Homo-oligomer: A and B are copies of this chain.
C-alpha cells in the first residue's frame, strides 16, 4: 500500500499554517494559490482537504475556538462572584488576547450569512447551545448562592445575543469606541436590578 495520511490532522495543520494570512487579509482578498503557497502545498492539495476557501476559515475557527474554550474554563474557575464570571465569559468580544480569533469569527459570521452551509449551521448551533448552557450554569450557581434574584434566568439568557450584536456594531460602525466598557456597563446595570440586596 501507499502512505496513509491522517486527513483530519493534515486539515488542521494546513489551517493553522494560514492563520496569520487570514487574520491579516480577509478571505475576499486572498486567493487559493496564495493559501496553498503559504501552507507549502499544491493548489490541488487544498481541495483534497477543504471544500473551498470558506471551509478553511471554518477549520481555523474550530481550532481557535477549542483553545479558547479551554482557556475560558480555566479563567472562570479562578473567580467566584457571578458578576465577575459573566464579565470574563463575555470578554471574548474585546479581550486583548483574542484579537485573531475575533477577526476569524467576524469573517465566519459574514460567510455563514452569505453562503450558508450545513456543517457551519450545525457547528454554530452547537456553539450557541454550549454557550447558553454555560451561562445558564453560572446564573444558577449565582441564584443558589443567593447573589442574584431568580428572575435573572430569563434575562441573562439574552446576554450572549446582546454581546454578539454589540460586537457587530463595534466592527461595522464608528459608533462604539470602547466595547469593553459598553459591555461591562451593561452587566453592571443588569446587576443593579438583579442583585440580592443585603
Contact = CB atoms under 8 A, between A and B. Distances in A.
A166 interface: yes
A129 B175 contact: yes
B168 A164 contact: yes
Q: How many copies does the complex hold?
A: 2
A125 B173 contact: yes
Interface stretch (A2-10, A34-42, A71-79, A155-163): A155-163
Interface in A144-175: 151, 154-155, 157-158, 160-166, 168-169, 171-175
A189 B166 CA distance: 21
Q: What size tier do the contact residues of chain A reach?
A: 35 or more
Interface of A: 26-28, 106-107, 109-116, 120-121, 124-125, 128-129, 151, 154-155, 157-158, 160-166, 168-169, 171-175, 185-186, 189-190, 192-194
B173 A109 contact: no
Contacts of A106: 113
